[in-house]
Structure 1
Amino acid sequence: MAESPTLSIVDYVVIAATLAVPVGMGVCLAIKGRKRNTKEEYLLGGRKLHVLPVTLSLFVTFMSSTSLIGMPAETFTTGINFVLYVIAIALSYVIGIFTIVPIMHSLQVTSMYEYFRLRFQSPFLWLFVTVVGMFQKIVFTAVVLLSPALSIQTATGLPFWVSVVIVGLVGIVYTSLGGIRGVVLVDVFQAAIIMLGIFFVLVKGVHEVGGLDTTWTLAKEGGRIPPVDFDPDPRVRHSFWALTLGGLFTFFGYTFDQSAIQRICAIPKMSGAKTVYALNIFIVSTYIICVCFMGIVAYSYFATIGCDPFKAGILTNNNQRK
């Protein structure tokens, strides 16, 4: 059995710094904003947040560890067709620009759940939707924490629960102390790390394989560049219809989510809120294309060295492919 890769001292220092910076940002904003301690300031930044930071914050909120780790694993295993999901994402944001953004921003609500109270005048429906939304967030957060925990466990051998506790506590601290301003600022920091990380991984990976042509050829020979499947059968894993039509309704859960509503309502003008959604079409689509291509690069790399990490024993759990 092959030995699992381990991290060096430098790696641990980088990880510690990456976790410490968000906490520091939250503390600084808590101290700086202690004189503006109101509900609107805490939840919406006084409705004075800027377009670009909120755009990056919205991007990071939905394109979390689940996509950064899971999508390359998906294309590594099944092929590049998953990239068609960008069509669904673009359509979802376009529909949001003409529907949810003007409605929510003009109402100046604090949350999506407040809209249900105003629209239907039903305390029961308001409470029910709020409880369902909270439950969905708890489940979603569990999945978000699972992905990096598996990665750290695979790379370092640390117990699974250690990563969950550390990452969870860091998120709680900077969110609780900094409010929406702290969340947005940390998201900008994380967006920069994600973008730089993807760039260097792709450049290094393609170089190791021997160039773009070689990367693409190896992936095609390995069946990772399949033709688009237009079969309407819903049981087909990655058909055109499943990824576009099904993906559209799936991503509605993000574009109409409380996290999105809170951010667009924190923008002072409706035109700025619409710009946030419009910019995310480009940013998220570029991100999806890049992370899907990361899976192709990874496959070509292992094909080049003639090694399947799972069969070689480097990975012991199929989830660790992510």
Structure 2
Amino acid sequence: MDNEKGFGVVDNCVFAGMLIISAVIGLYISYKGSKSPEEFLMGNRSLKPLPVSLSLITSYITAIALIGFPAEVYANGLQISTIALGCPLAIIFSSYFLLPVLYSLKLTSINEYIELRFKSKRLRFVIFLLSMAKALAANGIGLYAPTIALSSVTNLSTLNSIFILGIICTLYSSFGGIKAVIWTDAFQFSVMLIGLMTVVGVGCDQNGGVIETLHVASEGGRLEMFNMSLSPFVRHTFLNTMVFGFFYQLRMYSSEQVNIQRICAVKSVKNARR
């Protein structure tokens, strides 16, 4: 950055480049692929496990998490990170008990399962409306969160940032379908990973190294991870964060449309488990 208050030339180039590459991925896949609904929605169920896995991770690590979790750790310590310990248990459970059932039905939408299970189109429609309301609220917040950060370091207003990000996401999703979404997610995962590693590296360097950074964090009471209290009045404990992580991840891998669609887009249950 050229200054401490906003993006410099390099920052703007990186930001613009990421948006342009995301849009180009969607346009390229649209140009190369067929126009059949099966390919657009499910990628002909032939996608590879690696990009799908990266896409699932990217859909989990939202802007809300990237902005909110560091703030939570700074304010209340590292205990919230033990949410991650419940996630593998949920993934294993869903992989062996839920995924085989859902995958064998060759679903395009998770709402199809509701109709098949309860023999009710009306219930399916109600669940669809509730899912749409939830998605609109969650995606709205998810889109608004990064624009707050962008408006503080660029000359873009919050409204302009929302329009730009929304148009780019709509562009590659509507033109390229599920393949574009997955490959764009994989690209964005690499950008996030590089960015996070850079932030950690620069932060540790500016604080005198990893050991000194951990020492300062420890003195500030931010390294507590194994609070075994059973009190419901404690903000975060090992037990409640782990249980939350399990059920939160179980919901994502068993009933969330964005994840079920990705999982069912691979060749087999074995690949889906991977």
Give the TM-score normalised by the residue count of structure 1.
Answer: 0.81
Is 1:259 the counterpart of 2:246 in the alignment?
Answer: no
Measure the CA separation in 2 of the matches of 1:13 and 1:246.
39
Measure the CA separation in 2 of the matches of 1:109 and 1:227.
40
Q: Paired residues, what number?
A: 271
Counterparts of residues 138-217 of structure 1 (less than 5 Å): 138-156=136-154, 158-217=156-215
> Which residue of the partner structure matches residue 26 of structure 2?
26
2:82 touches 2:225 (CA, 8 Å); kept in 1? no
1:4 CA drift (Å): 6.7
SS of 1:110's equivalent in the other structure is: coil
Measure the CA separation in 1 of the matches of 2:225 and 2:147.
34
Change (3 A) 1:21 1:227: closer
> Which residue of the partner structure matches residue 269 of structure 2?
270
Counterparts of residues 37-76 of structure 1 (less than 5 Å): 37-76=35-74
Code of the aligned partner of 2:107: V
Measure the CA separation in 1 of the matches of 2:233 and 2:137.
25
1:4 touches 1:154 (CA, 8 Å); kept in 2? no
Q: Aligned to 1:85, which of 72, 83, 86?
A: 83
Measure the CA separation in 2 of the matches of 1:7 and 1:187.
24
Give the TM-score normalised by the residue count of structure 2.
Answer: 0.94
Change (3 A) 1:95 1:227: closer
> Which residue of the partner structure matches residue 11 of structure 1?
11
1:10 CA drift (Å): 2.1
Change (3 A) 1:88 1:158: same
Code of the aligned partner of 2:148: L
2:83 touches 2:243 (CA, 8 Å); kept in 1? no
Q: Which runs of 5+ in 2 are unaligned?
A: none
Change (3 A) 1:251 1:230: same
Change (3 A) 1:226 1:264: closer
Measure the CA separation in 2 of the matches of 1:93 and 1:67.
19
Percent sequence identity is 31
Code of the aligned partner of 1:84: T
Q: Which runs of 5+ in 1 are unaligned?
A: 276-322
Range with bigger deviation, 240-249 or 224-233 = 224-233
Code of the aligned partner of 2:265: A
What is the CA RMSD across the aligned residues, in angstroms? 1.5
Measure the CA separation in 2 of the matches of 1:194 and 1:114.
34
